[in-house]
Amino acid sequence: MKTDVGEYYGASAKLIVYGFPNVKLDQITISQIWVIGGADGPEDKINTVQAGWYIPADGYKTGCFNFNCPGFVALSPDFGPGSEITELSVYGGIQKSIEISIFKDQKTGNWWLTYERSYVGYWPKELFNNLEKAAEVDYGGAVYSPFNEPSPPMGSGHLAIPTEGPNKTCY
């Protein structure tokens, strides 16, 4: 889901998470929140900070995720990018969620990440050339699969509420 374009200095999302679906090589399923700077300009001026639940079948080799990206300063000894989420939703059962926030420190200009209201770390302002503020905040899920393969499931893999009823889909 996309927000209206404006001025944003932070956002939070509560994301329902399900267990590992059958994700094949070169496929991805993701649920995330991201803040975007420069979205209305040229592509090389777009800056994003993203966080969420990401499942690639290739061991996180499809992009710059977790600690594969230079620059993120991790502070939490207990949880950080790439950590396993162990409490997962069960179809028709209890819904489990994660709460993620991304916000700009007005004093330092760094962009902070919190998980379940605990500070995880930050992206230094020097990593960005167009993220003084976010012009857009987005959240939601996505899947990717090569053109000739069926997509992996998103979330539980079932249709949105109210089609299947409560405790059976992500939101």
Note whether residue 98 is domain-resident.
Answer: yes
**What is the rounded CA–CA span in Å between residue 77 and residue 87?**
19
Residue 158: inside a domain: no
Instruction: Domain count for the chain, please give it.
Output: 1
pLDDT number for residue 60: 47
Contact at 8 Å (CB) between 52 and 32?
Answer: yes
In a domain, 170, yes or no: no
pLDDT at 10: 93
C-alpha span between 66 and 109 (Å, rounded): 21
Q: What is the pLDDT of residues 4-28, one digit of tens each?
A: 567 889 999 999 888 766 777 778 8
* Residue 156, in any domain of the structure: no
Predicted local distance difference test score (pLDDT) of residue 63: 46
Gap between the Cα atoms of 6 and 134, Å rounded: 8
**What is the token pair recorded at 88?**
């997962």
Q: Between these two residues, 44 and 29, which has the higher pLDDT value?
A: 29
Q: Is residue 171 part of a domain?
A: no
* Residue scoring higher pLDDT (75 or 166): 75
Element (H, E) at 101: strand 97-104
- Residues of the domain holding 75: 10-144
Written as one string, the DSSP assignment of 52-117 is: EEEEETTSS-SSS-GGGSTT-EE--SS--TTPPP---B-TTS---EEEEEEEE-TTT-PEEEEETT
**C-alpha distances in Å from residue 97, one per residue of 6, 41, 109, 115:** 28, 34, 29, 11
Residue 90 phi/psi, 5-degree rounding, is: -120, 130
* Residue 44 belongs to some domain of the structure: yes
Per-residue model confidence (pLDDT) at position 62: 43
* Residue range 75-125, pLDDT digits in tens: 877 777 777 788 888 888 888 999 999 999 999 999 999 999 899 999 999
The answer to whether the CB of 155 falls within 8 A of the CB of 46 is no
Interstrand relation of 111-115 and 118-123 (parallel, antiparallel or unpaired): antiparallel
Q: What is the mean pLDDT of residues 152-166?
A: 75
